[in-house]
Amino acid sequence: MLNKCCISINAKCNLSCAYCHFYENNNIDMRSMQSLDLNKLLIILHNILTYAQKEHLQCFSVGFAGGGEPLLDWQILESALSAIAKQDTQKQLTFYIITNGILLNERLLESYKKLKPFVKLVISLDGDEITHDTFRLDKQGKGTFKRIMANIALYEELFGAKPDINVSVSRLSLERKAFILDFLLENNFINITFTRLFHCSDKSLEISHNDFLEFVEFFNTQHFVIRNLTAKAQNKCDCIMYGYTCGVGYNNIFYCNDKVYPCMRYVEGDKYIGHYDDTLPTIINNMKPLQKPLSLLQGVCHYEKY
Ligand code: SF4
């Protein structure tokens, strides 16, 4: 049952992270990618809501992530989310936005306040300053750690708690896992998602899935709520980074470049299964040929294996 998607609303970013799958990948031409305008985004969200209502879904999760910095188009996002919230009378849709955190300021956070009950802001932060600043650089090649931490403090001041964070895991993270753990504990981060890097231009940064699982397990203390571990415990169908069974062909899609892909890895090679304005039943029909028995997708990346 399709119950989640990610949406890349633009193809622009205000950072130049050294490991970016989209910008540091010779097989993806970000300059030719289409961005969404308000009208297109409303069409997508309306199609999702129509499907969730027709299927009586309790929850359909929509993430704004991958292939661009969503807060660069905050006005579009804010307008679209405010509009769809009014139509979603049964509160069937939940949203999260993964941001690099650079554009967070008091004004933006104030305007986010009214969306907060159904939109989670997740900030990308790779751990302590050395680990973070090795890769997460601005256009001038400067580290972003201090700016992100200052913006996290703003968030905490306004909302009384740390935001959720998304930690990208590279080979350096494995080497520095003790420093990262100390940093996360000292700064009282609670809700964490770990994301394994894939297809970096520098292959030496990539790690195996097993190394990734071992790394995540290292943080399995009572202090943290780790999305990867809760999803695994529930045997969730999702990307195997966040669950146990790859959801390609079943429950997850990715909107990008005015098209729909089985997941974000399929943007490379342009293996799309629909267009942004297709209804969800049409997209579901198009992704059926990709389906493998779920038992063959346990701990297996569909993109890498098939
Ligand atoms: S194909 Fe691979 S990267 Fe895509 S959702 Fe499945 S496990 Fe994740």
Domains and CATH numbers, the chain: 4-296 (3.20.20.70)
DSSP 285: H
Helix ranges (DSSP H) in 88-197: 106-112, 129-135, 145-159, 171-175, 177-186
CB 253 near ligand 1, within 6 Å: no
| pLDDT tens per residue, range 268-300 | 889 999 999 999 999 999 999 999 999 999 889
**How would you write the pLDDT of the chain (306 residues) with one tens digit per residue?**
899 999 999 989 999 998 887 766 777 777 788 899 999 999 999 999 999 999 999 999 999 998 899 999 999 999 999 999 999 999 999 999 999 999 999 999 999 999 999 999 999 999 999 999 999 999 999 999 999 999 999 999 999 999 999 999 999 999 999 999 999 999 999 999 999 987 777 888 889 989 999 999 999 988 999 999 998 888 788 888 887 899 999 999 999 999 999 999 999 889 999 999 999 999 999 999 999 999 999 889 999 999
Residue 165, amino acid: I
Span from the CA of 86 to the centroid of ligand 1 (angstroms): 33
CB 263 near ligand 1, within 6 Å: yes
Residue with CA at minimum distance from ligand 1 atom 4:
263
Non-local CB neighbours of 233 within 8 Å, separated by 6+ positions = none
Cross-strand pairs, 143: 137
The residue behind tokens 């680990």 is: 131
Give the CA dihedral 224, 158, 119, 105, nearest 10 degrees: -110
Span from the CA of 156 to the centroid of ligand 1 (angstroms): 33
Q: Which of 195, 209, 228, 239 to mutate to test the pocket of ligand 1 (most atoms within 8 A of CB)?
A: 239
The residue behind tokens 């907060």 is: 116
CB 303 near ligand 1, within 6 Å: yes
Integer Cα distance of 11 and 140 in angstroms: 19
CB 183 near ligand 1, within 6 Å: no
Cross-strand pairs, 256: 259
Which residue pairs from 70-73 have beta carbons closer than 8 angstroms and sit at least 24 positions apart in sequence? 70/9, 70/10, 70/97, 70/98, 70/99, 71/97, 71/99, 71/102, 71/103, 71/104, 71/108, 72/10, 72/12, 72/13, 72/14, 72/103, 73/9, 73/10, 73/35, 73/36
Non-local CB neighbours of 89 within 8 Å, separated by 6+ positions = none
CB 73 within 8 A of CB 10: yes
Residue 197: CA count within 13 A, CB half-sphere: 28
Residue with CA at minimum distance from ligand 1 atom 2:
301
The token pair at 240 is 């195997």
